[in-house]
Amino acid sequence: MRDKQGKTRYAALLCVFFAACGGSPPEDAIRAAIAGMEAAVESREPRSFLEHVTDDFAGQGGALDRSALRGYLAALLFGNELVAVTLTPAKITLHGDARATVELSAFVIGGARLPERGRRVAIKSGWRLENGDWKAYAATWE
């Protein structure tokens, strides 16, 4: 498992990689935010993950607000000494200049010293531009 500094470097490399790909600036910014969220989970830093989530977040059709999402992340991290996340390429659909829909799958593996369990999670999320940053304001997953 990488240390915290290694995770930060990894996230920065992902941001540079996505910026070098030929997507539009909004798509690049969303991909960079998603890479930051992935790195935050693997680094066990829920606060860093939540930096990419709006204050009025609604998950699972309104069943989870931002505070409940924080608890969900805390339970995931508490229950697993090691957490690894692998994401499929995101399908990003822009809706004007300030909204987007993102669909992707996450393969989440967790456990103690060796991965003990894993699962695939299909995620669909709504994003909006807020004070110059793209943030998730809604999400459903199964």
Angstrom distance (rounded) from CA 6 to CA 9: 5
Q: What are the chain's domains? A: 4-141 (3.10.450.50)
The answer to whether 64 and 53 have CB atoms below 8 angstroms apart is no
Least confident of 18-22, 73-77, 114-118, 133-137: 18-22
The answer to whether 82 and 1 have CB atoms below 8 angstroms apart is yes
> Model-level pTM?
0.81
| Mean predicted lDDT score pLDDT of the chain | 86
